[in-house]
Structure 1
Amino acid sequence: MAAAQQSDSECSSTSGSDLSDSSHSDEDSDVDVSCQSQGKPCKYYNKGHCEDGSRCLYLHVCEYALKGNCRYGSSCKLNHPTGGKGSSHGSNLPSNQSAKADIKLTNGQLYQWQLNDGKGWKDIDQDHIIEAQYCLPHTKSIKIYNTPYGAVSIDFNRMRVYGKSLRVRRLDDGNTVWIWYCSLSRKWRKYGDKDSKGNTGPVKSSDIEKKFQSNPSGSFNFNIGSDTFEIRFREMRQLSKKRKRRVTRRPVYRQQAGTGVSQVGSALQNMSLGTTHKWQYEGHGGKWHEFKQGSGTTCSVSSDDIERKYQQNHLGSMNFKVKGQLYKLDFGAMIQTNLSTNKKRNIRRV
């Protein structure tokens, strides 16, 4: 199987009191955060499709499984709740709606990504590439090529397949360490990290995860000074009186046996057959421009140069010059910085 990835980025490196509010409104301030449906199954999901996906305020589970009378049992195509009345089988709830999969791997693997076309779950080869991308908080999706179903695009946030009658799930051995991130100034920031002054954030990612494991439909509250904040798991939002922020939950990458750094790099190159990745920076008016070298341009690197460096380390960085000025590309944050003026621009890989 060959595959390629496209990462949509919003990453972070700030922390501590940065979680608190300011006078600005967040880009998600128009989101309806009313919670009026706890414990109720989504009727659209049960009919086959819910357009709201992970934003839906209703449970994406089989309504009959909740009642304990699903006649399809383990062959049911809908999600069954963990520890519920219905027949237990491999849950496919999005990562923001399910604490753990019902089925744990017992074959020595740390994790396994699978697809289901209605005829049972099938393992995805070289899924450590998918896992590596999934562990990055800014990566929204991945595209897999040369599968029996053609090109398959997986939405990480909603844990679903775009445009195909396929289901996707991630199983693990039950020992995954989950990290919680908050969106701040279009970057993802890990809860509990130290800020620029060396102060540790008021809440740890492990504290949030513990609460989430106990009740994936609940919330986590904490204070910064006199301000109170609430993380609503089903909405994946952090709320306060002044602002709403997005949050996400991603695993810490664990290396499967036989998938070292060199193997991962080789697999990424092999999985990119049949597709070419281009690197772009965001210019004035939100217009995107490709990095080009030669042919009258003054940029010292090409899109291919950037891609080769990225393959070596997805969280690394590289420097280049334009008209004699030095710039830095931060792959983890997907940001370009002019090291003379400190002006920053968004970059992307398409």
Structure 2
Amino acid sequence: MATAYDSADDLSGSDIYQSEPDSDTYSIDSDKNSIDSDDRNQGKDIKPCKYYNKGYCKNGKACSYSHICKYFVKGNCRYGSKCRLNHTVGGGAPSGKSRSQSEPTSCPKLTDGRYYQWQLNGGNGWKDIENDHILEAQYSLPHTKSIKIYNTKYGAVSIDFRRIAVYGKNVRVRRLDDGNTVWAWYCLLRRKWIKYGEKNSAGDPCPVKSSDIEKRFQSNPSGSFSFSIGGQTVEIRFRGMFQVGQSKKRKVARRPLFRNQQMTKQSGQAASLLSRPNLGSKPQWEFKGDSGKWHIFKSRAGSTACSISSDDIERRYQQNPRDRMNFRVQGQDYQLDLGAMTQTNLNTMRTRKIQRVLV
């Protein structure tokens, strides 16, 4: 059975692996504060106390529900280690204390030694997603808003990167972190995502770096970050993930810098210990033709000469999932953008979609 990861803009009927540029605001909170480590070992879901999460539970320690932050359990607490609510099972700040009254809880390293772990839970505990470096590579791209995974235990699963949630199914998804992720910040400018700190098209450096923004975000995820550029003050609002100036409002994204854990020894050791949804393992690269059908990249000679094959592309992708590579077809020069999942004719500048599927 063919299996694949698909990154798509409209997952209601799409079966392609295609990034969606410039279509949505990306407010991502699935970082190192995303889940408690004990939940992985309990074999059942933690049930947070709703009264504790509202600020006070009259039952205190006698409460039959867990006094733990419900957003932390879901994997999207914006406050992280500075949250006034408990982020550990059986410990943390007592119910009813305010943020200023309680000491911030330290956030443990949540993975089993890997850089990150993507997992699904359909009600029977969390299970690792195999080949999650592919998922992570797409998550690290600011223009990719979602991805589709085929042939899991729960069938085809569509993951929303903005909310770290599964579309249309009673299945949860989470991303565990080793605590060392470097987060990059991007702004949407003229339909292109530009990383803060990089030079613009005119060669002028940005006056603020991603690390500056991230430091402020970690201290107050519901706050903002202001800086001056071109004689005006610009504000990045974390809650809505927008950059607001005097006359323009632009989208902002926060994504991790990609780390390929396939290259780590820990990844190989841990892979054999955990139960995972069954996914295909042989990658295949395809381009979308004029008729809408997908065609495999094949190296061939003659009147339909093509200088690269699917395996050639995969080797480059494994080295760098955001790389670009040039090739020729029938004397025409083309460029593949593996990050944007596009193929461009360098003579006509016509662009086609490409996809990577696992078969």
Answer whether TM exceeds 0.5 for this pair: yes
**Quick check: 1:316 aligned with 2:323?**
yes
Q: How far 1:234 sits from its partner (Å)?
A: 1.9
Preserved contact between residue 73 and residue 86 of structure 1 (Cα < 8 Å): no
Deviations 1:96-122 (Å, cap 9, x if unpaired)? xxxx99553264332222223344433
Aligned to 2:288: 280
Secondary structure of the structure 2 residue equivalent to 1:315:
coil
Q: Distance in 1 between matches of 2:51 and 2:189?
A: 37
Preserved contact between residue 280 and residue 290 of structure 1 (Cα < 8 Å): yes
Q: Distance in 2 between matches of 1:303 and 1:288?
A: 20
Q: Distance in 1 between matches of 2:23 and 2:71?
A: 33
Aligned to 2:87: 88
**Quick check: 1:349 aligned with 2:358?**
no
Structure 2 CA distance for partners of 1:222 and 1:271, relative to 1, 3 Å: same
Aligned to 1:9: 19
Preserved contact between residue 198 and residue 205 of structure 2 (Cα < 8 Å): yes
Preserved contact between residue 291 and residue 303 of structure 1 (Cα < 8 Å): no
Secondary structure of the structure 2 residue equivalent to 1:221:
strand
The more displaced of 163-172 and 140-149 is 140-149
**Quick check: 1:72 aligned with 2:79?**
no
Structure 2 CA distance for partners of 1:180 and 1:297, relative to 1, 3 Å: farther
Q: Distance in 1 between matches of 2:293 and 2:190?
A: 22
State which of 327, 331, 336 in structure 1 corresponds to 2:338.
Answer: 331
State the TM-score, normalized to the length of structure 1: 0.64
**Quick check: 1:152 aligned with 2:149?**
no
Amino acid at match of 2:55: K
Aligned to 2:40: none
Amino acid at match of 1:349: Q
Q: Distance in 1 between matches of 2:258 and 2:23?
A: 29
**Quick check: 1:190 aligned with 2:223?**
no
**Quick check: 1:227 aligned with 2:220?**
no
Preserved contact between residue 119 and residue 126 of structure 2 (Cα < 8 Å): yes
Q: Distance in 2 between matches of 1:332 and 1:271?
A: 22
Q: Distance in 1 between matches of 2:23 and 2:248?
A: 9
Amino acid at match of 2:198: D
Q: How far 1:244 sits from its partner (Å)?
A: 2.3
Q: Distance in 2 between matches of 1:274 and 1:106?
A: 26
Secondary structure of the structure 2 residue equivalent to 1:73:
coil
Secondary structure of the structure 1 residue equivalent to 2:261:
coil
Amino acid at match of 1:9: S
Q: How far 1:207 sits from its partner (Å)?
A: 0.7
Structure 2: which 5+ residue stretches go unaligned?
A: 8-17, 26-48, 58-62, 90-104, 269-277
Amino acid at match of 1:314: P
Q: Distance in 1 between matches of 2:67 and 2:191?
A: 41
Secondary structure of the structure 1 residue equivalent to 2:6:
coil
Q: Distance in 2 between matches of 1:123 and 1:349?
A: 24
State which of 131, 138, 150 in structure 2 corresponds to 1:133.
Answer: 138
Amino acid at match of 2:213: I
Q: How far 1:248 sits from its partner (Å)?
A: 1.3
Amino acid at match of 1:254: R
Structure 1: which 5+ residue stretches go unaligned?
A: 12-25, 32-60, 91-99, 264-269
Structure 2 CA distance for partners of 1:257 and 1:335, relative to 1, 3 Å: closer
Number of positions where the alignment pairs a residue of Structure 1 with one of Structure 2: 281
Q: Distance in 1 between matches of 2:228 and 2:247?
A: 14
Amino acid at match of 1:88: H
Tell me which structure has the larger Cα radius of gyration: 2
Q: Distance in 2 between matches of 1:128 and 1:89?
A: 27
Preserved contact between residue 232 and residue 238 of structure 1 (Cα < 8 Å): yes
State which of 241, 252, 258 in structure 2 corresponds to 1:253.
Answer: 258
Aligned to 2:170: 165
Amino acid at match of 2:149: I
Structure 2 CA distance for partners of 1:157 and 1:348, relative to 1, 3 Å: farther
Aligned to 1:203: 208
Q: Distance in 2 between matches of 1:243 and 1:88?
A: 38
